[in-house]
Amino acid sequence: MTSTLRSSGVFDIIKQFGQWGSRTPGHPEYGHTPGVEVTTGPLGQGISAAVGMALAERWQAARFNRPGYEVMNHRTFVIAGDGDLMEGVSSEACSLAGHWQLGRLIVLYDDNHISIDGSTGIAFTEDARQRYEAYGWHTLRIDGHDREAVAAAIQEALDEASRPSLIACRTTIGYGSPNRAGTAKVHGEPLGAEEIRLTKENLDWPYEEPFIVPEGADQPLKTAARKGQAAHAQWRELMAEYEKAHPDLAAELRRAFRGELPPNWDAAMPEFDGKPLATRAASGQTLNAIIGNNPDMLGGSADLTGSNKTITSGAKDIQAGQYDGRYIRYGVREHGMGAIMNGLSLHGVIPYGGTFLVFSDYMRGAIRLAALMNQGVIYVFTHDSIGLGEDGPTHQPIEHLAALRAMPNLTVIRPADAWETAVAWKVALQNRATPTALALTRQKLPELARDKAEGLANGAYIVSDAPDFQAILIASGSEVSIAINAQKLLAEQGIAARVVSMPSWELFEAMPQSYQDEILPPAITARVSMEAGVTQGWERYTGSSGITLGINHFGASAPYETIYREFGLTPEAMADAAQSLL
């Protein structure tokens, strides 16, 4: 890819490949290297994101195209290797591509039978072409070194309207190298000076100096570039006419691709009745309120729609040939969902997808790439703690909040009640350059302070204060109401305590130090934190003198009230901890 971009004149910095400060890193990085449309280092992620791109094209075509104005009508091309097809994430995503009949998706599969360990015969012997046919794909097998065969296969794929295409291109890795061609050594090792000399000799390449592009060698690329420029000029002319005929739609299209929210995006927000409500339910009500004014949003769930509360009233499903819906049924494919959402986001869509928090592990690779690419993907992670109760330790997330918080450029928000949840959605929608993970409860939580909930945007705020407070009680999510009850117990003992709701470490640490010190005054060292997960990391807020209450072991099967009591997550335990520090 890098050599092709260099030969096509996009840049001339290939000599710095993989070096400090270079724009040509060891693997393609979106936003870093010109011409790179998606970060694809981890195998399987590129082809899976491409499924999202191809779906986005069809969804936006259904939304924006009008008779005589097909402003969305392009195809998505992928070059993938054996490793990409081995990865499970590609199986998840490509199964959906076949189900959705994404006929504008074309994959050139570099079928060279080599991976890092050696021949693919040691671990990858199924007929990948037949597997993709079973997914509902149109497949071809060709000699990947025969340019005419490649061109003919691409044309056949272009003519296939209702099925994505996989073109299995049988190739030889390291083609031309007398001693390395067709071996695993050529995958990641330099050929060496002598083998380079022999390869040039074998290919009748007369130039001894490296990085030489002979005069005229770039003509095919320049010809292709001219064709592309002409096609783009035609599209710009069509777009100009479209803007005259449909000015509102044209403005919407341009706004979506700029990554801007509509002017009235937060005009409709939910009203809650003051009754206890699970934050997953509050999230569902918030979605119902805001989605009408946010037409770029496209939701879904990995087979947990009823539990995640991710579908909105009247939303149609996206299915084959029906791309005008607002909801995606991903099936039990968390990793595929994450990767597809990356492709959707790169294509001007605001995607959100739901699953249980414990299953965020399944999609971690895709979440990491969203963070690396600065994509505003929104993850709706419900059943966020031992509060899910009887389903037991297999489904109770313990280490997951800490694991997500450890990831750079990911905003994790764990709201404490319905009002905080509504604000969390506002923050997530405004975070267009940062993915957001919402951690939401299964159990009902009491309503706290509606007039203070906007403080969530600051990451932490004072939810309940006391004059001349001696201790600070810090909590997130479902444990904030426990902290408020602990505050009352301390007050009965003549101890004044401040309660801080801290739904997001990342948002709090982005605030000025003066604000952080206002919420957590350095002079007050008697601090206790509580969260129904591992205590790792909370010491940065409690300080070396404080106490962190949480769960540093797996959960148990029982009603959630029992589990909280048995694991010591109670108002009494928090009050006792605070008292012990005074």
DSSP state of 262: P
- Burial (CB < 10 A; 0-12, 13-18, 19+), residue 292, is middle
Hey, is 146 helix, strand or coil?
A: coil
Which residues are known catalytic residues? 334
Closest CA to 311 of 321, 323, 296, 297: 297
The H helix count followed by the E strand count for the chain is 22, 19
- Per the document, the length of the chain is 582
Closest CA to 400 of 302, 303, 504, 534: 534
In angstroms, rounded to a whole number, what is the distance separating the alpha carbons of residues 223 and 212?
20
Own/partner pairs for 129-136, CB < 8 Å, 24+ apart? 129/166, 129/168, 132/94, 132/98, 132/166, 135/94, 135/95, 135/97, 135/98, 135/99, 136/98, 136/99, 136/101, 136/163, 136/164
Cα atoms in the Cβ-side hemisphere of radius 13 Å centred on 332:
0
CA dihedral 28, 33, 35, 36 (to 10 degrees): 30
Closest CA to 138 of 111, 169, 159: 159
